[in-house]
Amino acid sequence: MPFFGSGRALLVVSAVSLFGLCYAAAPALGADVENPTNASSRTDSGATVPGVQSVFDCRALNDAPSAHTPVQWFERSIWAAHCYVYEARAVRISGPNVVSLSLSRDIRDGVERDRLHILDGPSRSLVREGGTARFQLSESGDAAAPASPEALAAHLGKLYRFQFDGQERIANRTALRLLMRPADDMRYGYHLWLDQATGLVLKRVLLDEQGRPLETYQLVELTPPELYDGEVRLRQPVSSAEPSWKPSWLPPGFVAQPLMSMVGVEGVSRQHRFYSDGLVTISLFVEPVPEDGGLRPGVHQLGASYAAVKHLEEGDAQMQVVVVGELPPEILVRVADSLEYSRKASRNGLSQDSSSRQDALEGRSSS
């Protein structure tokens, strides 16, 4: 399923997903300062930090109780993704494509700095500072705060089944295998290999509906990880006006996350919104159709991700809609087909949460 025309939005999402793949098993999860299962936006003195969504006190890992259950190990992997400094080499395998990567992770003054360098083909590097935001169960009310570990575990427990799957040696380190099976046919499963000493993700495999590998990410070399002796602060997501386009249907468990508004390379306004079930995300882009005709409507493949593209009318303007995610393509098509234009949101930016959640998947074919 090749794609044609302007693909800047797809390239942006591809880069973002690569960062998420390499630096966290599930960036939506978080943990507590007193006990490595939660995190807050407060310092040791109890003061709220402006512009900070969560604070991970990595020193808590020194006295943390041992993880025993699959969910406890999963939560520990999120702490590890934020609290360890290391360098690594890795490979990403998607179908016939193999990409070699160099990873560097540092923490300075409580701010995470990740650098990813692609070793194959043209020299390319990606840099991210400030970490990733934590999952929110709702856009408004008490649930709009970062989800507590109990609430998040209960949420994910309705969508995935966690179980141990033995041990294996990865990158010369002992790893625990963790299998996450989806509870429905609207999302993929995951196989994680977690470092027994730190909880870092050493290998991650995305599994299709039949349990076959769609994409593999694996460390092949890792310097001894060093635990950061201090607090790591995650930046507060930047919110903006409510997009005028929004889906009336999402797969069960997916919740709108803080909004972002981007300006394209040519200065064209692009609306961006993303939704998450706490583990995987759906990115939605809406922008005027480029002069070159934009992307061909239909389904396009980006490694293990798919993009559903539609052209819609907004008054006299023709808009291009791109829905991207590591989900079955028919799910993304259904989300794109459910988009509705909100004149009220367009006028004043008021939030209008979509409440439609259907349990049964309707059959659809992509063009």
- Write down the pLDDT at residue 26: 40
Mean pLDDT of the chain: 78
Tell me the domain boundaries of the chain: 8-234, 238-348
pLDDT at 77 over 80: yes
Give pLDDT, residue 39. 45
Q: State residue 340's pLDDT score.
A: 87
Q: What is the pLDDT of residue 83?
A: 93
The mean per-residue pLDDT over the stretch 271-295 comes to 88
Domain 238-348: CATH class, spelled out: alpha beta
Q: Is the pLDDT of residue 321 over 80?
A: yes
User: For position 54, what pLDDT does the model report?
Assistant: 75
HEC readout, the chain? CCCCCCCHHHHHHHHHHHHHHHHCCCCCCCCCCCCCCCCECECCCCCECCCEEEEEEHHHHHHCCCCCCHHHHHHHHHHHHHHEEEEEEEEEEECCEEEEEEEEEEEECCEEEEEEEECCCCCEEEEEECCCCCCECCCCCHHHCECCHHHHHHHHHCCEEEEEEEEEEECCEEEEEEEEEECCCCCCEEEEEEECCCCCEEEEEEECCCCCEEEEEEEEEECCCEECCCEEEEECCCCCCCCCEEECCCCCCCEECCCEEEECCCCCEEEEEEEECCCCEEEEEEEECCCCCCCCCEEEEECCEEEEEEEEEECCEEEEEEEEECCCHHHHHHHHHCEEECHHHHHHCCCCCCCCCCCCCCCCCCC
Domains 8-234 and 238-348 equal at CATH topology level: no
Of residues 25 and 290, more confidence is placed in 290
Mean pLDDT of 206-232: 95
Region 50-54 average pLDDT: 67
Q: What is the reported pTM?
A: 0.79
Flag whether pLDDT at 330 surpasses 90.
yes
CATH architecture of 8-234: Clam (2.50)
40-44, 101-105, 123-127, range with the lowest pLDDT: 40-44
pLDDT of residue 316: 80
- Give the residue, 313 or 59, on which the prediction is more confident: 59
Q: Where residue 130 falls among pLDDT bands split at 50, 70, 90?
A: confident
